[in-house]
Amino acid sequence: MIKTLTLAFSMVLLPAIAFAGPPAPKAAGIESKDYQWGKMEGELKEALAKKGDIKRGKETYEICGACHLPNGAGRPDGTFPQLAGQHTTVLIKQMADIRMGLRDNPTMYPFAKEMTDPQDLADTSAYIESLCVPVDHGKYEGKDVALQNAKGKELYEKQCLECHGKNGEGDKAKFYPVIAGQHYKYLLRQMTEIRDGHRRNANPDMVKVIKPYTNEQLVAISAYQASLSMPGSMCKPKAGAKKK
């Protein structure tokens, strides 16, 4: 069971575990005409119906903390996303999609496949959602930050705000993720993969919106998204921390 694995053990064996065992399955995704993004069945439906226990979720999250860090902050370089404060529905769906082969993530799959108990999935997601969103996540640091944010804001308010909200709060009921507090490089990579057809579990509606975007537009919109924050959900700045 996943809850018997400790954080220290997972950190030591991470490289070995990541490349051990059979490859992840491949289910028909966005490339198939029969793909249904919002379809709820099997373990996804079962896990969503469970009431998550935050206290138990703190224990089951330990293995996740090896990559996503104990506070759910992920990595500013975008290798691992910021998870803290994310909707339980989004977390459960993405985990289930990885398990069934709808989302390709070779690094995550060895861990996701071990979470076979829907209750564990519900508990872990509940704990992650309860965490405050870090304020010191990775932001755009290239040229003309203000200009990029301005361009990105225009694009965001025109085509993204309706689903992801004014402050990047997403929509729990519709599986739209929280993007406030997410790392710029992770956002840019995911939007590029969605545009180019590599994120096979993507929402078809988002694919239509993002398909015409140029690389420059994706940089701008990612820069703006990474600057968003949700009032009441962000972590308190650390004492003595310099304002950016």
Q: Which residues make Cβ contacts (< 8 Å) with residue 218, sequence separation at least 6? A: 188, 191, 192, 195, 210
Average pLDDT over residues 64-85: 97
Cβ contact 152:196 at 8 Å: no
Q: Is the pLDDT of residue 88 over 90?
A: yes
Q: Is residue 237 a part of any domain in this protein?
A: no
Q: Is residue 239 a part of any domain in this protein?
A: no
pLDDT of residue 8: 35
Q: pLDDT confidence of 158, banded at 50, 70, 90?
A: very high
Q: Is residue 10 a part of any domain in this protein?
A: yes
**Of 130, 165, 193, which marks where a domain is finished?**
130
Average pLDDT over residues 55-67: 95
Our count of domains for the chain comes to 2
Q: Is the pLDDT of residue 97 over 50?
A: yes
Average pLDDT over residues 107-117: 90
pLDDT of residue 240: 62
Q: pLDDT confidence of 79, banded at 50, 70, 90?
A: very high
Residues 119 and 150 in one domain: no
| 119: its two tokens | 């209750």
Residues 19 and 53 in one domain: yes
Residues 92 and 176 in one domain: no
Q: Is the pLDDT of residue 68 over 90?
A: yes
Residues 164 and 212 in one domain: yes
Which residues span the domain enclosing 79? Answer: 2-130
* CATH number of the domain encompassing residue 157: 1.10.760.10
Q: Is the pLDDT of residue 15 over 60?
A: no
Residues 29 and 55 in one domain: yes
Residues 14 and 121 in one domain: yes
Q: Is residue 72 a part of any domain in this protein?
A: yes
Out of 95-104, 208-217, 233-242, which region has the weakest mean confidence (pLDDT)?
Answer: 233-242
Task: State pLDDT tens for residues 22-46.
Answer: 788 899 999 999 899 988 888 999 9
Report the predicted TM-score, pTM, of the whole model to 2 decimal places.
Answer: 0.89
Q: Is residue 236 a part of any domain in this protein?
A: no
pLDDT of residue 61: 96
Residues 202 and 90 in one domain: no
Residues 123 and 184 in one domain: no
Residues 220 and 185 in one domain: yes
Per DSSP, what are the bridge partners of residue 171?
176
Q: Is residue 163 a part of any domain in this protein?
A: yes
Residues 123 and 6 in one domain: yes
Residues 64 and 111 in one domain: yes
Q: Is residue 215 a part of any domain in this protein?
A: yes
Residues 194 and 124 in one domain: no
**Of 98, 130, 162, which marks where a domain is finished?**
130
Q: Is residue 243 a part of any domain in this protein?
A: no
pLDDT of residue 20: 52
pLDDT of residue 1: 46
Distance CA 66, CA 15 (A): 11
Task: State pLDDT tens for residues 115-144.
Answer: 889 999 999 999 999 999 999 999 999 999
DSSP per position, 161-219:
HHHH-TTS--BGGGTBPP-TT--HHHHHHHHHHHHTT--TT--HHHHHHHTT--HHHHH
pLDDT of residue 115: 87
